[in-house]
Chain A
Amino acid sequence: MTELKGGALLEARQVVVRFGGLEAVGGLDMAVARGAIHGLIGPNGAGKTTVLNVLTGFIRPTAGRLVFDGEEIGGLNVNGFARRGLARTFQNIRLFGAMTVLESVLVGAHQRFSASAPALIFGGRAARTAERAMIARAHELLDFVGLRHDIADRVATTLSYGHQRRVEIARALMSSPKLLLLDEPLAGMNAVEKQEIAELVRQVRAQGIAVLLIEHDMQIVRSLCDHLTVLEYGKLLADGAPERVLSDPAVQAAYLGRAR
């Protein structure tokens, strides 16, 4: 990863994850550059989601270090990861039941509220201003991800699948992250929707937010990502620019099966 030194926003060094006797990730080194759209790919069971869970604090690695924005973050709680500027979505959408779209998105801004309980109860001016600002920001983000305003008061889990994905992205962006991690954001979408989400990812990057995404659609990955990391059996198989990585015979073998 020497080529990325200095530019790296997130670095994983020699990360190992073991579940009992199973080694799900074995000594992985990877780095996400600032402002990059970074693809994490690999065949089923390669450990992509495990890596994403490590990078967001959901799984504490058995060994290895995580450095984000120059700070060691390996020992933090999940909310600590979020507070440092790592926001994520989930492979199976995890919106909060019984909450409206607006409320769900506002949860993403949790760390940006600071009013004390008395200030909330007695109606402090600052508390109200903060709430108002965040509601305005939530509406901007709903716009940004391509959702109409009139769904803001619908219960989020009653929306269509595609809309739920967008709400989840808006919720993640609400924390003003430095890095957005998307776990298969295009899964289950048709070609048009895929292009729309890909465009959305580019716009996110245009705002200076780096994106790490897991994806299976190689056409999209090729056109969208600046950098690819390929996993196989929890180990690094290839890493680099998409064109180079995707033409790597080892990567092709991993996807298509090896010639006998």
Chain B
Amino acid sequence: MDYFGQLLANGLVLGAIYALTAVAFTLVYGVVRLVNFAFGELFMLGAFLTTSLMLPEVRLFGTVVPMPGFPLPIAALGAIVITGVIGVVVDRIAYRPLRNAPRLAPLITSIAVSVVLQSLAQTAWGAEELRFPQFYLATLPPVVLFDSIYLSVMDLVVMATAIVAMLGLSLFIARSSLGRAMRASAEDQTAAMLVGIPVNRVVAAAFAIGSGFAALAGLLYAQTYGFAHSSMGFLPGLKALTAAVLGGIGSIPGAALGGLILGLVEALGAGYLPNGTAWKDAISFVLLVGLLYLRPQGLLGRPELNSAGRGSLLGGASEAGAFWLRAVFARVDALLARFAAAGAPAALGLLAIAIVVGTLVPSDYWLRILTMVVIYGMLASGLNVIVGFAGLLDLGFVAFWAVGSYLTSILFVLVLKESYGVAPQEVWWLLYLNLPLGGLLAAGLAVLLGTPTLRLRGDYLAIMTLGFGEIVRVVAINWMDLTRGPMGIRGIPAPNLFGISLGSPRAQFFFALALAAVVVFAVARLVRSYVGRAWVAIREDEEAAEAMGVPTARYKLYAYAASGFVGGFVGVFYAHSQQYISPLNFSLFENILLLMLVVLGGLGTFIGPFVGALIWIVFLQLALDLPFVQAYPETRFALLGVVLIVLMVFRPQGLAASARVGLTMPGARAKEAA
């Protein structure tokens, strides 16, 4: 009972923090139907700003800056106001131009905003934790309930603050005129605008309040756990989103309820399940996935929220865009269009150029980088099948990549070498078996994970796939016997052909290139057929596709399978190329990065994923020569995020948009030209 009571108390504190953040998600979703992934980062900013304002001095951008050293309440207020302003600015710059864009656009933008804010925070405050200063209330002796449950005064403050803030918000929304305007805009934006409600201002208010709530949650979290860190908002942000979905996104009582349930489940799960602390993140995500499957509208939500508008990022007029961008791209576009029209010969030409480059590049260093370009290009191509062609945002793609990598590593290292003493050179051929095997296994997993998502659309689909990806990662970390957990697997043999090692950087580059040719060829053959037409039809208008006789559920699964196959297939090679893998290689961030590369290069094109990978990875290296980047390497990620935000607003089709892919079989059209 005492143990239970203590867990209950911990759960309530955690639940209060989740609930506050969930309110942020739910408020903004309610008004603009946007899942703003960046709230996790606003949560982090709230923590950093409060901590900084409380300290006498802080190291910012490497220099010591004097700070006011406010007491907690004043610092908190300051942090909440500043974060609120940041939230409004983000909305104005990144989201408002996308109000009428397809749902994928603001979703991707919010992910990019997340990346920007996190990188900038790391640049400003550094990669280390910032310790949260002691506040005098925290030095008081804990309150003891029932002789055995210890609650610090600050825990009580956290709970009381959460309750007051949420009651205050409910009152505000119920009674004030701005609250009424918010409810009206949530019902129907156009109608609200027609009766004279300044919808943009209402949305800005929702962002201000939501960001303030996220900041409040963040600073309470930092207070409770004693630190602020640039990546601290990531998991609590996801948990809060889970809480919001659990309660029914769009509903404020739902957010409170969801936060509370999630906090309690997590605390009790961590306390009672065997090895519970290690699995507690998985608990939340299993809950999320199960809930989305059984009751996507959440406990208190409305069913119609699981809907997506028609159209895709690629369906709009491709001539759109800012004039200066159009000027810049006009020439590139013409070139790419000609390249795409040429089809197979152009692709072979590109392959030839890659071979020449691979032969001539003298440095091993650059060969390794180019190999990474090809690997990321292939992975992005796999993701492109599901996101670019079928139009389904998949944030769990890394799981497929991980499956391929782990399959081959476990077989080669843990089973054959360590259990049976078989040297990798003796079974070099196994790699060539593992490539398709890894692909098939990942495709199987993709179908398994894809099936429950079939009923979901848009935002909920993204959230569910994200949940799956995280579950797979948590399993990889904790299933020590199978995966060696966070230590990872070492000593994976380099690729080998007939006993000849292909471990040299040059050999690896050509190996990767050969695989890339296979991947692109296979994907292109599928896309340029009735299968690809069905995918694109689903992307553009699912109902119309269904009315044309396309069994959309089945074709979505095919897209998952094809995408998963590529992920697993490339994953096998990746493990042998790196010779070491650990769960860190397959984080959600990698998934986000791949997504950004596809969007950067051009969704729904064959060349786009490689263009994105080439630009990004080469830039990543070249920028290291700049002293500024040497001091702040994270700024490169911030730049990628900014570029993506600009692209979403002005050119959502990506850089290589004009390399449009034909959807008919190339040979089949040769004759009708006459």
Contact = CB atoms under 8 A, between A and B. Distances in A.
Interface residues of A, number: 45
Contacts of B522: 121
Contacts of A117: 526, 531, 558, 562
Give the bracket for the number of chain B residues in contact with chain A: 35 or more
A103 B664 contact: yes
Interface stretch (A19-27, A89-97, A198-206, A242-250): A89-97
Contact of B664 (A58, A102, A121, A127): A102
B665 interface: yes
Interface in A74-112: 77-79, 81-83, 87-88, 90, 94-100, 102-103, 106-111
Contacts of B669: 135
A90 B314 CA distance: 22
A99 B533 contact: yes
A131 B549 CA distance: 17
Interface in B307-329: 310-312, 314-318
Given A111-B549, A135-B669, A78 B536 contact: no
Contact of A121 (B526, B543, B668, B671): B526
Contacts of B310: 94
A100 B528 CA distance: 13
Contacts of B540: 96-99
B499 interface: no
Nearest to A94: B544
B530 interface: yes
Interface in B336-369: none
Interface in B64-79: none
B531 A120 contact: yes
A132 interface: yes
Nearest to A113: B530
Q: Is the interface of A mostly helix, strand, loop or mixed?
A: helix
A79 B544 CA distance: 10
Given A96-B541, A98-B314, A98-B536, A107 B550 contact: yes
Nearest to B540: A96
Contacts of A58: 543, 547
A139 interface: yes
A56 B549 CA distance: 11
Given A56-B547, A131-B529, A97 B314 contact: yes
B551 interface: yes
Interface in A99-150: 99-100, 102-103, 106-111, 113, 115, 117, 120-123, 127-128, 131-132, 135-136, 139
Given A58-B547, A96-B544, A97-B312, A107 B665 contact: no
B417 interface: no
A171 interface: yes
A157 B526 CA distance: 24
B552 A79 contact: yes
Interface string B658-674: 00101111011101100
11 contacts: A78-B543, A96-B545, A97-B315, A97-B316, A97-B540, A106-B663, A107-B533, A110-B537, A113-B530, A120-B531, A128-B667
Interface of A: 56, 58, 77-79, 81-83, 87-88, 90, 94-100, 102-103, 106-111, 113, 115, 117, 120-123, 127-128, 131-132, 135-136, 139, 157-158, 171-172, 175
Interface of B: 310-312, 314-318, 521-522, 525-526, 529-531, 533-534, 536-537, 540-541, 543-552, 558, 562, 604, 660, 662-665, 667-669, 671-672
